[in-house]
Every structure is written in C-alpha cells, then in structure tokens.
A and B are shown apart, each in its own frame.
Chain A
Amino acid sequence: AQKVTQAQTEISVVEKEDVTLDCVYETRDTTYYLFWYKQPPSGELVFLIRRNSFDEQNEISGRYSWNFQKSTSSFNFTITASQVVDSAVYFCALSEAKGGTSYGKLTFGQGTILTVHP
C-alpha cells in the first residue's frame, strides 16, 4: 500500500526566513508520481508541482524549490524568503501510474500548516 508522511504538522516562521517542508513516501511501484498542493485559507487546492519517479532533478520555480531523492524516498519542498502570502496548508501526494487497473489515484499526506508572520 502507498503511504505519504508529512511529519511536520505545523511550522511557524517569520517573513523572509527560508522554510523546508518534509515529505516521505512509501510505494512498491517502480513508476510513480509525486505532487505538492497548496491550500490557502480560502480553501481551494492549488497544484504546485508534479514529478515522476524517473526524474530526480531538483526543480526551482521562483522562491519555490523541490528536492527529490529516491534513495531516501523523500520529496521536500523549500520556500526561500518566505512571505505572509505563503501561509497555507501544504500537501504532498503520491500517485500510481495509470495502466491496467491503476487510475492515477492520489494518496495524500496529512498536510503541514505553514504560518508566516510579518
């Protein structure tokens, strides 16, 4: 069975600090996909990134960066120079590959509540 663990329930930082959100996953699949979603206080779920299991290159998008390490089954998310608008719940998720009886179902972590104080 697939499992995603976000051990940090809540993180509180002051604006301009860097912050890393941890995500550890378990799967028996050799092909899988990892995602991060953001849920701001308004409640919607916003897609941030998708990575497949064959691509371990780190990715940077503005102040956001992601570190994927298959050796430790981790897909961590770093926000550089955090801002108040980054305050949200962040979810890491794992998807099996489609094919056969697989339909891309997502398994989510419990979420990390990030609060950025001015």
Chain B
Amino acid sequence: DAGITQSPRHKVTETGTPVTLRCHQTENHRYMYWYRQDPGHGLRLIHYSYGVKDTDKGEVSDGYSVSRSKTEDFLLTLESATSSQTSVYFCAISESRVTAGASDTQYFGPGTRLTVL
C-alpha cells in the first residue's frame, strides 16, 4: 500500500473558523491531489500539485487554498469554514515515472471527515 496519511482523521469545527488538513506521503511522488466526497457527486477535485510550490485549482476550489512547501506534505486550508464544506476529504498521490502522455494510478489516503456546524 502507498504510504499516505491524513490528519486529522475526524474534525468538528464551527462556521467561520479556519481549518487545515494535512496529507503526508512517504513515496516521494510528484503529484498530489485533494478531493472531496459528497453523496450523489462521487469525488470532486479541489486542488492539485505537480511539484513543490506548484499547485493549481480543480473543479470545486472556491473557499479552499493549498500549499506544498516540500514533496511529502500537501496542506488544504479552509480559510473560513462553511457548512457546505462538511464533507469527507481525500488526498491522493500518483507517480511520475511515466512520460508525458500517460497517466499514473492515483492512490488515496484514508480520508478526513470534516463537520462544520
């Protein structure tokens, strides 16, 4: 199994407070992704990173920011949490050994269940 951990695993917070979720990998993979999972929507991409300090927005990026200061850590921040951000958040990583034109398999962390009251 890919070495991916997420912290915290569960969090309850109040509307308007800042929240930071951490994804840590031990695989030295270049690509990292944050998704959220909601009933009826599957998983949707929030932000992704293609290298240290290289990040970009995904499909549902409003209200979220990310940072990647080193290969192993990818942080997701909710600047001011809202109830609509109650969700399960998954981090994923993928290898970069293949050349352009290919796509590596993404492996997922265990998830973080966030509740915003």
Choose the segment among B16-24, B68-76, B96-104 that binds chain A (4+ C-beta atoms closer than 8 Å).
Answer: B96-104
CB-CB under 8 A from B28, the residues of chain A are none
CB-CB under 8 A from A43, the residues of chain B are 88, 110-111
Q: How far is the CA of A45 from the CA of B107 in the complex (A)?
A: 8
Choose the segment among A14-22, A56-64, A71-79, A94-102 that binds chain B (4+ C-beta atoms closer than 8 Å).
Answer: A94-102
State the majority secondary structure of interface residues on B.
Answer: strand
Across the interface, name the chain B residue whose C-beta is closest to A110: B42
CB-CB under 8 A from A52, the residues of chain B are 102-103
Are B103 and A95 in contact, CB atoms less than 8 angstroms apart?
A: yes
Q: Does B94 interact with chain A (Cβ within 8 Å)?
A: yes
Q: A98 with B43: in contact, given A43-B88, A50-B105 (CB under 8 Å)?
A: no
Q: Does B50 interact with chain A (Cβ within 8 Å)?
A: yes
Q: A108 with B94: in contact, given A43-B110, A47-B107 (CB under 8 Å)?
A: no
Are A103 and B102 in contact, CB atoms less than 8 angstroms apart?
A: no
Q: Does A27 interact with chain B (Cβ within 8 Å)?
A: no
Q: What 0/1 pattern do residues 82 to 117 of B give for CB contact below 8 A with A?
A: 000000101010100010111111111011000000
